[in-house]
Structure 1
Amino acid sequence: MDDAVLAAIQRWPDVPAVSGWLSLDQRGRWRLHPNGDADQGGPGESITSPAILAFIDRNYARADDGRWFFQNGPQRVYVRLDAAPYILRVNGDGSGLQTHTGLATGRISGWWLDEDGRLYADTDAGPGMLDGRDMPRVLDALFLADGKPALESLAALPLNGTLAVSYRPDLAASTPATAAAETAETADIAAATETANANKAADVADVTHATRSHIAQALGYATGC
């Protein structure tokens, strides 16, 4: 958090928290609810000021009870989450993921797939859901232990089932070039071997197919404000 915000909390520690004024939608956009009615489920209004958006991003955190909030000076503003605390996107160079607030996710310790096919990740930065626009790229970068793409296995994963995968965006990006240089069969073998070898040194994490409510409970966040 900003130093000025932390100082305001110390100076005015008893300012009551509020809720109903702010939400985070499924694409990682902050939405203002001028009537304080975010709990009614409405979409709210766009916030267009870059300075305000950056201020919210820097002063966004998790409460002890699993709710997430924006610290507006001395006042805590609880946020309605339409999906998850963070919306995750592929970073600028395609080498990994970042949150909608611009944080690098770091290590991914678990993946979750909900009943509508949306993908979530438990990361060093915190829990998040993949932005739908980036899901195809991320799914293409998930590999099984034998080096094969995980997409078909994920599509067949039953509810409550798990599947071990590695997230390898570097290998996913290199596969088309390799395939163009060799025959299709040889390219498939080479790509699988390369990925399997790389997976030995990569972080392997389970994908669990579960309901949205179970995912929120498992990752320790509350969507209500």
Structure 2
Amino acid sequence: MDDIVKQALAKWPNVPHCYGWLGLDARGQWYLRDAQAQAEGAFAQSRGARLEHEKLIEFIGRNYEHDEAGQWFFQNGPQRVYVELELTPWVCRIADDGRVTTHTGSQVDPTACLTDEEGRVYLVSELGLGLVHSLDVAAAADQIEAGRWTPEEVKAADLPARFGFVVSPSAAHA
């Protein structure tokens, strides 16, 4: 967490949390969900505006965490902005050499590989569960064929409970 964020938390400890305004899609992109986007439906149906400002995206990534209930959030100074997830709290990219990084740029070491009924591929790491980016599924297949990963079949609906994360903090909060 950035020092400026820690200082803001210390100065203003009782700022109300924010729900429904930030989303993370299955490709690791952040979306700002204004009141109109929220009124049009849940994150999967109404995304809002994709964030494109590089420094803002990096700031969110450095201050992206979860609470004890498994709800992921961005600590924006003194305010906790809970994140609506399309699928998982992490999106994984696979480099040509097999290295895996998350959508926030953190390098991870996969400990398990999962596939669901829709053909999506997930990796489990020290950070938790991450969906393999759709552009990297072929690279994941290469890792599987090389014997580095052995996929386990799972049901997508079981993943939040199994890995302890909340897809929609705003729904849980309502």
TM-score computed with the length of structure 2 as normaliser: 0.88
Q: In the alignment, which of 95, 106, 124 is matched to residue 103 of structure 1?
A: 106
Q: Could you tell me how far apart the structure 1 residues matched to 2:42 and 2:157 are?
A: 19
Q: Could you tell me how far apart the structure 2 residues matched to 1:50 and 1:109 are?
A: 30
Counterpart code for 2:47:
P
How many Å apart are 1:217 and its aligned residue? 1.4
Q: Contact 1:26/1:82 (CA < 8 Å) preserved in 2?
A: yes
Which has the larger Rg? 1
CA RMSD of aligned residues (A): 1.7
How many Å apart are 1:123 and its aligned residue? 0.4
Task: Give secondary structure in 2 for the equivalent of 1:66.
Answer: coil
Q: Contact 2:22/2:81 (CA < 8 Å) preserved in 1?
A: yes
Query: Deviations for 1:65-118, whole angstroms, at most 9, x for unmatched residues?
Result: 011000000000000000110100013x53310000000012x22222111010
In the alignment of these two chains, the number of paired residues is 165
Runs of 4+, deviation exceeding 2 Å = 38-41
Q: Contact 1:104/1:125 (CA < 8 Å) preserved in 2?
A: no
Q: Could you tell me how far apart the structure 2 residues matched to 1:29 and 1:60 are?
A: 13
Q: Please name the residue that 2:38 is paired with.
A: 37
Q: Could you tell me how far apart the structure 1 residues matched to 2:68 and 2:12 are?
A: 20
Counterpart code for 1:166:
R
- Unaligned stretches of 5+ in structure 1? 144-148, 150-164, 168-205
Q: Could you tell me how far apart the structure 2 residues matched to 1:9 and 1:30 are?
A: 23
Q: Could you tell me how far apart the structure 1 residues matched to 2:98 and 2:134 are?
A: 18
How many Å apart are 1:40 and its aligned residue? 2.3
Q: Could you tell me how far apart the structure 2 residues matched to 1:49 and 1:83 are?
A: 23
Mapped pair 1:113 → 2:95: no
Mapped pair 1:215 → 2:159: yes
How many Å apart are 1:43 and its aligned residue? 1.6
Q: Please name the residue that 1:78 is paired with.
A: 82
- Provide the identity percentage: 34
Q: Contact 2:121/2:131 (CA < 8 Å) preserved in 1?
A: yes
Query: Deviations for 1:195-216, whole angstroms, at most 9, x for unmatched residues?
Result: xxxxxxxxxxx53211112122
- Unaligned stretches of 5+ in structure 2? 170-174
